[in-house]
Amino acid sequence: MSKTIKDRILEALRNSSAEYCEIRVEESEDTSVSFRGKDIDRVSQTVSVGGNVRALKDGGWGFVSFNRLEDLPRKVEEACAQARLLGEKLKKEIKLYPVDPVEDDVPGEFKKPAFSVPLRDKVKILEDYNRLILESPEITSSFVSYSDKHSHIYFANTDGTYIHQEKMDLSGVLTAIASRDNLSTQDRVTFGSNSDFDVILGLEDRVREAARIAREALYAPVIEAGEYTVILDPDMAGLFVHEAFGHLSEADSLDEDERMKELLKIGTRYGTEELDIYDSGIEGGNRGESRYDDEGVPMQKTYLIKGGVIVGHLHSRESAWKMGEKPTGNARAISYRFPPIVRMRTTCIAPGKHSFDEMLKGISLGVYVKGGYGGQTNGEMFTFAASRAYMIRNGAVAELVRDVNLTGNVFTTLQNIDMIGNDFTYKNSAGGCGKGWQSPLPVAQGSPHIRIQKVVIGGDRR
Amino acid sequence: MMVVEESKKRGIESCLVSQESRTTMLNFEFNRLKNIQDSEDVNHAVQVIRDGRLGLFTTTEADLTADFLDRAIELSQFGPAVDYHFPDPEDPGAPLIFDPRVRDMSLDTMMTLGEELIDFAKSLDPAANGSARIIKIHTKKSVQNSRGLSSSWEKTEFSVVLAVDFVEGQNLLQVSDFCTSTHLEYDLEGLKAQVKRDFDLARKNVPLSPGTYPVLFTPGAFMDLIMPILACLDGKAVVRQVSPLKGRLGESIFSPLLTIVEDGILDKGTGSNLYDDQGVRCRRTFLVEKGILREYLLDLETACKLGRKPTGTGKISRIAPNNLLVLPQDLSWKDMLKGIKRGVIIKDTMGAWAGNPYSGQVTGNIALGFLVEDGEPVGRVKDCMFSVNVFKHLKDNLVSLSRETKYTYGNALLPYALVDGVSIAAKT
């Protein structure tokens, strides 16, 4: 099958009339299982086959996607015609940063592939977690959801690259919901991997804890709005670095904007000496990591901030050429329906030297945030919602509070990180990142605990 | 039809939803045309009920074969137990949802539109970065089931989106607006006027002290307050007993000003359809009428469990409104603004979607908002968060809704809303 696809792709590419042309074809199979309350809610599978052609001519990009592989030669012509049409209007020089052509076949190196596990077993594992949630006191409902994807991606371009990659992705969420009167509260456990089905196993203690927190949140007050010193746990700190700095480092939003380039110039200081931030596609096992990105560029580890100073950006081949920097393997697309754009993979704050106890010391009134529901940024400001939060009073973790949503200015908040912990962990969760209508793209984060001064938190006023 | 015919031969209930669409999108970035995207998408969803269990298999493979039916049947052994049947055919509504002018619109015409928007963006300030998207979608959809339903229809969508980014030091500003319809109808001048108003006003930052304020939510921001209500109206949340609206039909929950309607047959509504993805006829349903809870959003399963009729809002494995309307009132939004002595306009938010929808608490960053003094917006407020509880604020603190409505994301047509006593946290 793969040889047939390879032949089709390479033959179709020979008809390109553009400066540059690439073809990406995907075959994939997805499985989804979910429970809501005591009932199974969904068991479904999806088989997808599709591809796209992207062509560049005189600064104009043409992109077509399709489901019928037999249309491939016609689609190459269409993409090239679109690029030509745009190029005639633009007459602009846009190049792709040169990378060595590569021919590679990358079979999946999975620790335990999800597709090797019978559907019956997946359903059973989730059913057991669901039962565990529902057996917990005051838990009235649940949402247990799992999905996996197994794909083969074939990529070739007119530079002479041909790559086949086998990939897998899995993620899930185990949510406990407690209700009292007309109030419902929830807490959850999430998991994910690009190589190991077994990350779904052994979560019982965390599930019990989630059920306990959901129950306790019923009796917790909404946090009082204000400005606080905040400690973020590794999960939340990972979400913070993704939203607060990762997106800003994506060079396709800088490469044609002189003011943004100036703002994110190499050498600019945005944090203390202790702050190192990097994005990596090669940590191993995390969602979104693979050998090559969707332009056929090898993934790598890229430092964005070292010692508090900007040292790099995340690039596609186009943004790298425009900014005179090297491609970093960050051109990614959510599926064959979309062109690759600059996206993160595993984004991390490197470990520092502080213990959690050191961070607590000296905080008379603060907030300890554990885990996040999600976040968002518009470049300048960021926000994220906590899944659990506790007040800190006189240097000790105190009562649970609920509905905690934090915000800050990206630039000042990075400067306000005054302690970085020594307890680094990765976070792989369900869902993913959204940008340019491509969502959810699998990503991961990594961080130790961090402490930030002067974070604004929304909530009640008393 | 082969899948449905084959299932009937085997004595198995089935429903097949097929969709073929073509999307053409012109993207302008950094004040220039960046690319053309042209996508052809095929999707088939095969649903079967065998031995009282639902099987679901979906594929993008263009040519359907009996194999797909076999896959759905195989999956049904693990699927949810269901008490319902796929519906008998009913005559559908006839919403206006297809405009051949959209289907036939040329690339040149789309380019001209985009260029006009980019020229406008550049006119705001030489350093402004304009982005625009011109999008047309032509969809052919069909629904067939083993009870004899066989219907197909065409639909078009046309959207124009403009965003302007502006950087001044560490001050990053984005203002945006869009028009969308199933028809080739757009108000480019209105869109430009709105963007210019926001852009000019947002150039000046003004401080805002923490406190509670009257807030004028624009339709887009008002949608953030409606989202948790939608989550609570979802039949699945009601059946699971997690919705605070469970068992409260006929009860007064919100202000009498608030009427929320699901309208699956709205003329020119981008969410309108003839049937939902379970073969139920799309219709118009009052969910909240003058503050009183009238109905939930129901698919076949939840309607059966609650002993009610489905609302034509069943999607593949989820429930969602087709077009969601909050009905307007009499005042113009400008008159609503005039009545604010000191308050805030919230236009764009960030992160308000995150959190627990069943608590009704909505907390988000004010991504684009303006301080109002004596009925006039005086400048942009930044680095602050708003927080409301929709069950409290849309019951006791909803002051007025505008007569003007505007489409927001998620096929929702909403007015402006003036809400009193909104908590705002800001740097002290």
Residue B387's H or E segment, with its range, is strand B384-389
Residue B197 sits in the same domain as residue B218: no
Residue B303: partners with Cβ closer than 8 Å, 6 or more residues away: B84, B235, B309, B310, B311
Whether A61 and B354 lie within 8 Å, measured CB to CB: no
Range of the domain at B352: 207-428
The answer on A253 and A198 residing in a single domain is: no
Contact pairs from chain A to chain B, CB under 8 Å: 257
Say if residues B258 and B414 touch (Cβ distance below 8 Å). Answer: no
Same domain, B181 and B278: no
Would you place residue A1 in the very low, low, confident or very high pLDDT band (cuts 50, 70, 90)? very low
Kindly determine whether residue A257 and residue B30, on different chains, have CB atoms separated by under 8 Å. Answer: yes
Q: Are the beta carbons of A333 and A348 closer than 8 angstroms? A: no
Average pLDDT in chain B? 95
Q: Residue B395: phi, psi to the nearest 5?
A: -105, -55
Whether A416 and A268 map to the same domain: the answer is yes
User: Would you say A407 and A377 are in contact if contact means Cβ atoms under 8 Å apart?
Assistant: no
Domain end residue (candidates: A217, A251, A266): A217
| Chain mean position to CA A110 | 20
Same domain, B244 and B153: no
Which of residues A217, A239, A260 is at a domain's end? A217
Q: Is B171 on the interface with A (CB under 8 A)?
A: yes
Strand partners, A168: A150
Q: What is the CATH number of the domain that holds B171?
A: 3.30.2290.10
**Which among B57, B358, B361 has the least Cβ separation from residue A44?**
B57
Q: What is the C-alpha separation between A282 and B151, in angstroms, rounded?
A: 50
Asked whether residue A213 falls in the same domain as residue A230, the answer is: no
pLDDT above 60: residue A3: no
Sequential DSSP letters for A163-208 = EEEEEEEEEEEEEEEEEETTEEEEEEEEEEESSBGGGGSS-HHHHH
Kindly state whether residues A383 and A250 are assigned to the same domain.
Answer: yes
DSSP notation for B297-343? B--HHHHHHHTS---S-EETTEE--SSEEE---SB-HHHHHHT-SEE
Total domains in chain B come to: 2
* Helical pair A2-13 and A72-90, crossing angle rounded to 10 deg: 40
Nearest chain A residue to B20, by CA:
A67
**Model confidence at A34: pLDDT above 70:** yes
For residue A2, is pLDDT > 60?
no
Residue numbers of the domain that contains A252: 226-458
Nearest Cβ partner of A376 from B168, B211, B351?
Answer: B351
The secondary structure of B186-220 as a DSSP string is --HHHHHHHHHHHHHHHTSB----SEEEEEEE-HH
Residues A211 and A230 grouped into a single domain: no
Q: Does B386 touch chain A (CB under 8 A)?
A: yes
- Answer yes or no: do A239 and A141 share one domain: no
Is A274's pLDDT higher than 70? Answer: yes
State yes or no: pLDDT of B428 exceeds 80: no
| CATH number of the CATH domain containing A86 | 3.30.2290.10
d(CA A418, CA A415): 8
Residue B383 banded pLDDT, cuts 50, 70, 90: confident
Q: Please state the domain count of chain A.
A: 2
Q: Same structural domain for residues B260 and B239?
A: yes
Residues of A in contact with B241 (CB under 8 A): 37, 140-141, 179
Residues A46 and A135 in one domain: yes
Q: Are B203 and B195 in contact (CB under 8 A)?
A: no
Do B251 and B129 lie in a common domain? no
Non-local (6+) Cβ contacts of B108 within 8 A are none
Q: Are residues B128 and B232 in the same domain?
A: no
Answer yes or no: do A425 and A407 share one domain.
yes
Name, in order, each residue with C-beta under 8 angstroms of B307's C-beta and a sequence gap of 6 or more.
Answer: none
| C-alpha dist (Å) from residue B368 to A137, B120, B421 | 43, 20, 19
Pairwise CB contact (< 8 Å): B244 & A47: no
Six-digit token string for A290? 């693979």
Looking at CA atoms only, how far is residue A358 from chain B in angstroms? 26
**Does residue B226 carry a pLDDT above 70?**
yes
Region B235-240 average pLDDT: 94
* Same domain for A246 and A209: no
CA atoms within 13 A on the CB side of A169: 23
Domain end call among B184, B201, B218: B201
Are residues B272 and B396 both part of a single domain? yes
Which residue in the set B41, B80, B317 is minimally distant from A337, CB to CB? B41
| Domain edge (last residue) among A217, A243, A275 | A217
Q: Which of A255-264, B119-128, B294-303 has the lowest mean pLDDT?
A: A255-264
Rounded CA gap, A37 and A204, in Å?
Answer: 18
pLDDT in tens, B268-292: 999 999 999 999 999 999 999 999 9
**Residue B79 shares a structural domain with residue B101:** yes
**Residue A203 CA from chain centroid, whole number:** 22
Looking up tokens 């961080």 gives: A447
The owner of tokens 């090669």 is A282
Nearest to A458 among B59, B171, B386 (CB): B386
Among residues B201, B231, B252, the one where a domain terminates is B201
Choosing from B170, B201, B232, the residue where a domain stops is B201
User: Are residues A194 and A242 both part of a single domain?
Assistant: no
Distance of alpha carbon A112 from alpha carbon A115, whole angstroms: 9
- Supply the pLDDT for residue A462: 65
B142 with B262, same domain: the answer is no
